[in-house]
Structure 1
Amino acid sequence: KRARTVTVAYRQPPKGRITDLVIDSTGLKVFGEGEWKVRKHGAEKRRVWRKLHLAVDPATHDVVAAEVSLENVHDAEVQPTLLNPLRRKLGRVYADGAYDSKASHQ
């Protein structure tokens, strides 16, 4: 049986300023009808997947925030949802260009 949701357990950093934070995302495959259907009828052209966005403390490698989004949601749209619950001042945030937007610099 497969789960409908994913719960990511992560540790909140100690109180105070977060000096460095690394943000990135990766794709997660959503399984469909299974391998039998693919063998019998061939592979579908469109794959269904989700994106897992993580905010990690590079010093401790602790995941301090996580968010799952649909495949068509741009990374820059997820950044506020990912970082706002931390409610802390951030020093440097390292992310790839997909997270770069005017709002991310505020």
Structure 2
Amino acid sequence: MMMGNEKHKNINWKQYNQALVNRVSVTFWIDDAAIKTWHCPKHHGRGFIFTDTAIEKALMVKRIFQLPLRGLEGFFNSVLTLMKVPLNFPTYTCISNCSKTV
């Protein structure tokens, strides 16, 4: 039992430090099914070329990272470029407009 002035002694600092680093690690993956359904094969009459699923995923990431729409566009463009995934990301205006009907 620890008393008021006692401190917990951590013996393995290397492991502790790595655990702190890993807490903020981000991993993204985009599977083939998501890539195939990212763009609409036809316009819905709304004039948008992205599926509702693509917009939903974008809005989910926006909420998780608390990004403004312009920041979300830049973030996703960077991720897609780094992953070498041949997708276009919707512009912030497209996401804004689509979010009203998704």
Shared fold by TM > 0.5?
A: no
* TM-score, scaled relative to structure 1: 0.30
Higher strand share: 1
* TM-score, scaled relative to structure 2: 0.30
Higher helix share: 2
Q: Which has the higher contact order (CA 8 A, sep 6+)?
A: 1
Larger Rg: 2
